[in-house]
């Protein structure tokens, strides 16, 4: 008899995933706004004016027609209706924002967060197994290493929030049929700053293509693929949080990731696990002190 227990997640729709990403983002921004300072009106004026001018320059220089202009209006409306603004901005703009935000760092390289982060994932011991289904498909994968400060001191009790897609390329809380915290966990490093996380190797995946972002991809004849990756947020008191994605060698989309988030420093070096099934890799995180 064919096992259909994992079939429902493949029915994930862009609008459903987008709506959830929008809700999560609004909640996080509401919490952040409570502690933010006054609006810098001069900065808003400068950036908004520059963005509007850039768009008008494109219209004038490239002779944009009313047909093209109206198609853009209809598409922007659909982006909102599908809840895909977080996806659109995270895929096509966040990599530049991240580069500016972290250009001062001396420690480990970071990259974009993406639209699928959920905070407060279940806490797991430094050498534990990430929450997953009993029959989770995929290659067993051990991800180990150490968290240190830029001066080389181990950061005991550092937290590593890990989340990633499953063997079919779907994220829990953004696809039906997956347990709430599937392949999401927060690991606490030991007294030497070390961690050893037991999970499965994620699959490459296409960003949702049945919504507005997919329409743009099809119209421009782009591909929609992201290489397989692990998402992490690594933090310790008194240090800047490192947000990262770690990739696997040989993935055909490491060089043309639609989100432009791959960096050479973020490529893992997995080896066959000498003590069991699957693969194992070592990767250390170096955190900068808070300014």
Confidence of residue 12 (pLDDT cuts 50, 70, 90): low
pTM of the model: 0.87
Q: How many CB atoms lie within 10 A of CB 220?
A: 7
Question: Could you report the per-residue pLDDT of 69-94, keeping only the tens digit for each?
Answer: 999 999 999 999 998 999 999 999 99
For residues 123-148, give the mean pLDDT: 97
- The phi, psi pair for 243, rounded to 5°, reads -100, 125
Q: What is the mean pLDDT of the chain?
A: 92
| Domains of the chain: residue spans and CATH | 12-291 (2.60.130.10)
State how far the alpha carbon of 278 is from the alpha carbons of 32, 133, 144, 222, 274, in Å: 40, 17, 14, 33, 9
Question: Could you report the per-residue pLDDT of 95-108, keeping only the tens digit for each?
Answer: 999 999 999 999 99
Confidence of residue 13 (pLDDT cuts 50, 70, 90): low
- pLDDT, residue 230, reads 98
């Amino acid at each position: 008899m064919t096992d259909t227990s994992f079939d429902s997640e493949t029915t994930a729709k862009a609008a459903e995933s987008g709506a959830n990403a929008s809700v999560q983002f609004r909640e996080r921004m509401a919490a952040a706004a409570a502690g933010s300072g006054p609006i810098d009106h001069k900065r808003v004026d400068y950036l908004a004016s520059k963005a509007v001018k850039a768009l008008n320059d494109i219209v004038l220089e490239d002779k944009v027609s009313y047909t093209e202009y109206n198609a853009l209006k209809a598409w922007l409306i659909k982006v909102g209706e599908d809840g895909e603004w977080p996806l659109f901005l995270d895929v096509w703009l966040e990599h530049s924002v991240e580069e500016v935000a972290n250009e001062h760092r001396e420690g480990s390289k970071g990259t974009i967060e993406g639209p699928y982060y959920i905070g407060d994932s279940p806490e797991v011991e430094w050498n534990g197994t990430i929450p997953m289904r009993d029959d989770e498909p995929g290659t067993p994968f051990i991800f180990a290493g150490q968290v240190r400060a830029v001066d080389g001191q181990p950061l005991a009790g550092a937290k590593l929030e890990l989340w990633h897609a499953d063997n079919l390329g779907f994220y829990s809380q953004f696809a039906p049929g997956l347990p709430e915290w599937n392949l999401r966990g927060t690991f606490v490093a030991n007294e030497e700053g070390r961690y050893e996380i037991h999970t499965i190797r994620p699959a490459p995946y296409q960003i949702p293509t049945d919504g507005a972002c997919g329409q743009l991809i099809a119209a421009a004849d782009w591909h929609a693929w992201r290489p397989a990756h692990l998402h992490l947020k690594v933090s310790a008191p008194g240090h800047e949080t490192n947000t990262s994605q770690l990739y696997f060698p040989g993935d055909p989309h490491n060089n043309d990731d639609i989100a432009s988030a791959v960096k050479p420093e973020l490529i893992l070096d997995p080896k066959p696990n000498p003590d069991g099934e699957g693969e194992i890799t070592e990767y250390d995180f170096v955190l900068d002190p808070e300014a």
